[in-house]
Amino acid sequence: TQYVYRFGGGVSDGGQGNKNLLGGKGANLDGMASIGLPVPPGFTITTEMCTRYYEEGETFPDSVKAEVANGIAHIEAVTGKVFGDAADPLLVSVRSGARVSMPGMMDTVLNLGLNDETVKGLAETSGDARFAWDSYRRFIQMYSDVVLELDHGAFEEALEIAKEDKGFHLDTQMSAEDWQALVGEYKALVEQQWGKPFPQDVHAQLWGAVGAVFGSWQSERAKVYRRLNDIPGDWGTAVNVQAMVFGNMGDTSATGVAFTRDPATGERAYYGEFLINAQGEDVVAGIRTPQYLTRAARERAGAKPLSMEEAMPETFTELARVFDLLETHYRDMQDIEFTVQQGKLWMLQTRSGKRTAKAALRIAVDMANEELITRDEAIARVDPAALDQLLHPTLDPNAPRDVLAKGLPASPGAASGIAVFDSDTAEKRAEMGDAVILVRTETSPEDIHGMHAAKGILTARGGMTSHAAVVARGMGRPCVSGVGTLAIDAKAKLMRVGTREVKEGDIITIDGASGEVMLGSVPTVQPELAGDFGTLMEWADKVRRLKVRANAETPLDCRTAREFGAEGVGLCRTEHMFFDAGRITAVRQMILADSEAGRRAALDKLLPEQRKDFTEIFEVMAGLPVTIRLLDPPLHEFLPHEEAEFAEVAAAADVSIDTLKRRAAELHEFNPMLGHRGCRLGVTYPEIYEMQARAIFEAALDVAGKSGSAPIPEVMIPLVATKRELELMKAIVDKTAQAVFVERGASVDYLVGTMIELPRAALMAGEIAEVGEFFSFGTNDLTQTTLGVSRDDAGRFLTTYVDKGIFARDPFVSLDIEGVGQLIALAAERGRATRPDIKLGICGEHGGDPASIAFCEKTGLDYVSASPYRVPIARLAAAQAAL
């Protein structure tokens, strides 16, 4: 096996650079050398050697020693200098480089090859004794810190004292003799701390540094980083040994870092910093303020020190040419490190640059338009999840903030408004035209109207999948949840954080991206939906097979969803409609009635209201499919829970308090999630589903008549476990449809299907498909029922489960493909076997999760349904899944 690959001086052993073998840095040094860019010559010891090093008790085989000697000979041949030569010494840097850039790895050692003899040679050949002794003391300092791991504080202290003794403030005031004296002190420090003199043998220096790079692969820091970022321990790191070039040889020398495009905005403009007469880390270390690369950037910043474009115009032109070559070669925005030695440009590193979501979008679209990459590549390059940042208003980054507390970033976006501590007040104040932030200890379904009215939601309890978080994400409202330091007193209409107090009506701001809660209002900036975003979405739409629908239950949600490109509604829940202030009394009368006749009387009052709900939705969605789920939650959710409310509710519903209490007690359930809900309601009270079906068909005919374009209702029966349940429910819907069509003398197309959200339904899908015309996988409940985990209670242990690796990710956020996914695949297969044209979709939270969407594509579902604000994410993820 070959363990050493040479590069530079017309050589590139690695060919096109293999990152797995040579590490990212080594592969790209090789790549740059192969296209003729000025790379100081060097060689890479492979990651395979790192693995072998550990297998063989941290030793190097003789064959590698010979290969390294060969590598050194290559550098010597290209540079004409000799490693360890007292007259004209070769100096090298030793650099680590794993497949992916990894903090926690060994820092680079520069100027290796200097000792008491070679330093004199360097002084001679460079004609600059000060430079030579400065380089030597830097080398001892770095080597002692990074390789010998001595206490670097002592070295810094020695330097400070040396300067103080002379009355100097800056390193630049030190003379050759001053540095030489410091070298003496440094060597004494090494001997004192290490017990041995500083290594004078340059080969011992080299092997010490190489061993330290491999050693750092198993450092605690590196291990922690690998664990957090899912990097396998057996990847290993490579070592790069490379001839030194010097950016610190006077005013025609410099060192810098650059991006080929602006990493914050994606703008096509070189972006970066450089320092004249400086070496290596000086730019990043912040000892001196770096200068701008381009004149335009300098002028924009109103800075004085000349840009590189102005100070070194010729080298800059050369650098710009290299930037363009690198982009063409790597076909991506590059992050670059370079050094100029006495007017000559040298490239030291290049890699794909990190960028913001906004920049990622712009760069992908620009590069496709420049024909540097294909449109498919542009689609693949943008992380769908990152779009989330772009689809909501965000806080003006330049505005001052008075941060009160911090919680979980539960739903992105930012909002300012008056703090309000209950949902009724939120609704009232919003109607009066106030921007409102609803503040609750935690939210429940009864808060829906308040959440709708609010611009943002803040809770003291609850995690990322709490009611508040899920509903807020669904509505596209910013939400900060689980702010533990928040003490809310809803009765007194105030909250406290420590000694600070916020009363109802005080203005606060929440940032759902950072979890910050601020006092006062902070200005926001609106998202940009046209431009690059629109272009990329258009490309994605041409590629994807999966349709994308939205989970939407109000006309406003539907409009938002259509603006974001939804092709229908995949889940219109109907329970929230029942909470509406105008009709909750009728709902309660229906629940409290003790006969079918009584229930029907109450339902008659609800019918026109429910018809209006659907009419408004159908108007927005004309011509598109709308899946409406009939009533799902247990009835007691609609009854009051607080003693204080009983009297008022009883009076409104025209029953005695005793009747109300008795009925509430009757409806009480120990485990409502598995209780009297879903189609079980329809089986026991068929008149409820009958009313809902009538409202749907009447509304559909109204809209068809008015707009000429009929919606396509898909009536969905929830929580079905058996074919018989669905048969009974479908009969109600069909019978009602027929009755309405006869009354109206007109009809619309419709489907009746079911949610697959119980394992039994998935298993019996073949039989259920004899009745059901579509399946929608309700993966929220299907995850709960398959795992036997209640989503509302999982918060207490889910984090621990994820930390311990029991779940790779929260299964309510990203589908458990191994487990729940099997049920979906099996149900899809069995359903299709019975009814080849059965429509299949998914409508849980997972419909907006890219990994889950990839699974849906693989399983051949027809559509995914996501909350309106996640529709663009789903469109892009669906396109990527189809590529």
Q: How far is the CB of 36 from ligand ADP (least distance, A)?
A: 18
The smaller minimum CB distance to ligand ADP, of residues 334 and 551, is found at 334
CA angle, residues 790, 795, 796, in degrees to nearest 5: 105
Collect all residues with Cβ–Cβ distance below 8 Å to 258 and sequence separation of at least 6: 270, 271, 272, 273, 274, 293, 319, 323, 335, 336, 338
280 binds, among Mg ion, ligand ADP, none (CB under 5 to 8 A by kind): ligand ADP
Torsion angle of alpha carbons 324, 325, 331, 334, nearest 10°? -60
Q: Which of 34, 135, 216, 255 is the binder for ligand ADP (CB under 6 A)?
A: 255
* Count of C-beta atoms within a 10 Å radius of residue 270: 22
The smaller minimum CB distance to ligand ADP, of residues 108 and 466, is found at 108
Tell me the site size for ligand ADP, rule CB under 6 A: 16
Structure tokens at 231: 């990097």
Structure tokens at 499: 């000694």
Encoded one letter per residue, x for contact with Mg ion by CB under 5 A and - for no contact, window 319-358 reads ------------------x-----------x---------
409 binds, among Mg ion, ligand ADP, none (CB under 5 to 8 A by kind): none
The smaller minimum CB distance to Mg ion, of residues 279 and 349, is found at 349
319 binds, among ligand ADP, Mg ion, none (CB under 5 to 8 A by kind): none
Is residue 843 part of the annotated active site? The answer reads: yes
Q: Which of 24, 26, 40, 850 is the binder for ligand ADP (CB under 6 A)?
A: 40
Task: Examine residue 349 and tell whether it contacts ligand ADP (CB under 6 A).
Answer: yes
Q: Could you tell me which of 831, 690, 850 has the C-alpha nearest to residue 765?
A: 831
781 binds, among ligand ADP, Mg ion, none (CB under 5 to 8 A by kind): Mg ion
734 binds, among Mg ion, ligand ADP, none (CB under 5 to 8 A by kind): none
Q: How far is the CB of 241 from ligand ADP (least distance, A)?
A: 9
30 binds, among ligand ADP, Mg ion, none (CB under 5 to 8 A by kind): none
Q: Which amino acid is at 606?
A: L
Cβ proximity of 781 and 772 under 8 Å: no
242 binds, among Mg ion, ligand ADP, none (CB under 5 to 8 A by kind): ligand ADP
Task: Examine residue 778 and tell whether it contacts Mg ion (CB under 5 A).
Answer: yes
- β-strand pairing of 271-276 with 254-259: antiparallel
Q: Which of 67, 698, 781, 845 is the binder for Mg ion (CB under 5 A)?
A: 781
Distances (CA, A) of 94 to 61, 72, 142, 249, 320: 20, 12, 11, 20, 27
Phi, psi of 626 (to 5 degrees): -130, 115
Q: How far is the CB of 349 from Mg ion (least distance, A)?
A: 4
Q: How far is the CB of 134 from ligand ADP (least distance, A)?
A: 14
* DSSP code string of 601-669: HHHHHHHHHHHHHHHHHHHHTTTSEEEEEPP-S-GGGGS--SHHHHHHHHHHHTS-HHHHHHHHHHH--
Task: Examine residue 768 and tell whether it contacts ligand ADP (CB under 6 A).
Answer: no
The smaller minimum CB distance to ligand ADP, of residues 121 and 713, is found at 121
Structure tokens at 207: 């092997």
The smaller minimum CB distance to Mg ion, of residues 462 and 634, is found at 634
Closest residue to Mg ion, based on beta-carbon distance:
781
Q: How far is the CB of 844 from Mg ion (least distance, A)?
A: 8
CA Rg value for the chain: 34
Residues pairing with 95 in the sheet: 240
Q: How far is the CB of 22 from Mg ion (least distance, A)?
A: 15
The smaller minimum CB distance to ligand ADP, of residues 280 and 682, is found at 280
Q: How far is the CB of 38 from ligand ADP (least distance, A)?
A: 12
Q: How far is the CB of 42 from ligand ADP (least distance, A)?
A: 7
The smaller minimum CB distance to Mg ion, of residues 115 and 783, is found at 783
110 binds, among Mg ion, ligand ADP, none (CB under 5 to 8 A by kind): ligand ADP
Q: Could you tell me how many residues make up the chain?
A: 883
Task: Examine residue 633 and tell whether it contacts Mg ion (CB under 5 A).
Answer: no
40 binds, among Mg ion, ligand ADP, none (CB under 5 to 8 A by kind): ligand ADP
**Three-state DSSP class for residue 771:** coil
How distant is the alpha carbon of residue 676 from its chain centre? 38
Under rule CB under 6 A, which residues in 276-305 are in contact with ligand ADP?
A: 280-281
Cβ proximity of 357 and 386 under 8 Å: yes
> 372-392: string of b/e by CB count within 10 Å (b at 16+)?
bbebbebbbbbebbbbbebbb
Task: Examine residue 216 and tell whether it contacts ligand ADP (CB under 6 A).
Answer: no
* DSSP code string of 330-380: HSS-EEEEEEEETTEEEEEEEEEPP--HHHHHHHHHHHHHTTSS-HHHHHH
Task: Examine residue 838 and tell whether it contacts ligand ADP (CB under 6 A).
Answer: no
**Residue tagged active-site, from 50, 572, 843, 856:** 843
Under rule CB under 6 A, which residues in 300-339 are in contact with ligand ADP?
A: 337, 339
The smaller minimum CB distance to ligand ADP, of residues 347 and 815, is found at 347
Task: Examine residue 437 and tell whether it contacts ligand ADP (CB under 6 A).
Answer: no
Q: Which amino acid is at 859?
A: T
Task: Examine residue 857 and tell whether it contacts ligand ADP (CB under 6 A).
Answer: no
Task: Examine residue 690 and tell whether it contacts ligand ADP (CB under 6 A).
Answer: no
Cβ proximity of 477 and 454 under 8 Å: yes
Tell me the site size for Mg ion, rule CB under 5 A: 5
Under rule CB under 6 A, which residues in 226-245 are in contact with ligand ADP?
A: 242-245
Q: How far is the CB of 347 from ligand ADP (least distance, A)?
A: 10
Is residue 679 part of the annotated active site? The answer reads: no
Encoded one letter per residue, x for contact with ligand ADP by CB under 6 A and - for no contact, window 96-125 reads ------------x-x---------------
* Count of C-beta atoms within a 10 Å radius of residue 82: 19
Task: Examine residue 26 and tell whether it contacts ligand ADP (CB under 6 A).
Answer: no
**Residue tagged active-site, from 467, 576, 636, 846:** 467
Q: How far is the CB of 262 from Mg ion (least distance, A)?
A: 20
Q: Which of 93, 253, 509, 560 is the binder for ligand ADP (CB under 6 A)?
A: 93
The smaller minimum CB distance to ligand ADP, of residues 105 and 715, is found at 105
CB-count exposure of residue 29 (10 Å: 0-12, 13-18, 19+): buried
Encoded one letter per residue, x for contact with Mg ion by CB under 5 A and - for no contact, window 294-323 reads ------------------------------
Q: Could you tell me which of 338, 347, 270, 266 has the C-alpha nearest to residue 309?
A: 270
Cβ proximity of 336 and 349 under 8 Å: yes
778 binds, among Mg ion, ligand ADP, none (CB under 5 to 8 A by kind): Mg ion
> 544-579: string of b/e by CB count within 10 Å (b at 16+)?
bebbbbbbbbbbebbebbbebbbbbbbbbbbbbbbb
CA distance 246 to 640: 77
* Count of C-beta atoms within a 10 Å radius of residue 723: 19
- β-strand pairing of 863-866 with 547-551: parallel
- β-strand pairing of 436-440 with 414-420: parallel
Q: Could you tell me which of 851, 381, 811, 860 has the C-alpha nearest to residue 874?
A: 851
The smaller minimum CB distance to Mg ion, of residues 38 and 61, is found at 38
Q: Which of 19, 74, 95, 362 is the binder for ligand ADP (CB under 6 A)?
A: 95
Task: Examine residue 416 and tell whether it contacts ligand ADP (CB under 6 A).
Answer: no
**Interface contacts to ligand ADP, rule CB under 6 A:** 40, 93, 95, 108, 110, 242-245, 255, 280-281, 337, 339, 348-349
Catalytically active residues, by annotation: 467, 843
**Interface contacts to Mg ion, rule CB under 5 A:** 337, 349, 757, 778, 781
